[in-house]
Homo-oligomer: A and B are copies of this chain.
Amino acid sequence: MEQEKMQSIIESVLFVSGEPIKKAKLAKILAEKIEEVEKALEALSVRYAQAGSGLALLQKGEEIQLVSNPENAQHVEQLVKNELQDSLSNAALEVVSIIAYRGPISKTEIEAIRGVNCSYTLRNLLLRGLIERSDNLRDARGYVYSISFDFLKKLGTDDVKKLPQYDILSVDERINSIISNE
């Protein structure tokens, strides 16, 4: 494989993974020798050292991780603050209220109720610690979501059943008609 092609693939793989990856695993994905992988990583390092790059390679033992350029930490922090401390979007409010009154509930069921894909919203709510996920007992491949204890406390209660009108809202027939149709 050409060196440039290898660099491109390594960058893509490290970018998507987010986590540290063993060099041996990269070699396997590329079907190349580990020495070739190391050469490509070296070249990537040189590229990231150039002005204008916002990325960096973190090497720990046999593992490699793609991270943001530490010099930009201040701006990245600002982004994190913006993203996570903002008030909730309408979509996020809807999803979190569905989870509050109908949790534990699966992604498929939430999406059936809202009629749109909720992947991003669920991930953001998880990151903000407002919801929790656990294994779905009825479907081993999936998860179910419920409201986090921290968020309940923030709402001033220690039990979802004590949320306003829980007895009425949580058993509303209209939702059953949608979920059972899916």
Residue numbers of A with Cβ under 8 A of B are 3-5, 7-19, 25, 29-30, 43, 47, 51-55, 66, 68-69, 71-72, 75-76, 78-80, 82-83, 111-112, 115-117, 119-120, 123, 126-129, 132-133, 148, 150
Contact = CB atoms under 8 A, between A and B. Distances in A.
A115 B123 contact: yes
B128 A117 contact: yes
Chain A contact surface mostly = helix
**Residue with the highest number of chain B CB atoms closer than 10 Å, among A5, A53, A117:** A117
B116 A16 contact: no
B127 A79 contact: no
**Residue with the highest number of chain B CB atoms closer than 10 Å, among A9, A79, A80, A133:** A79
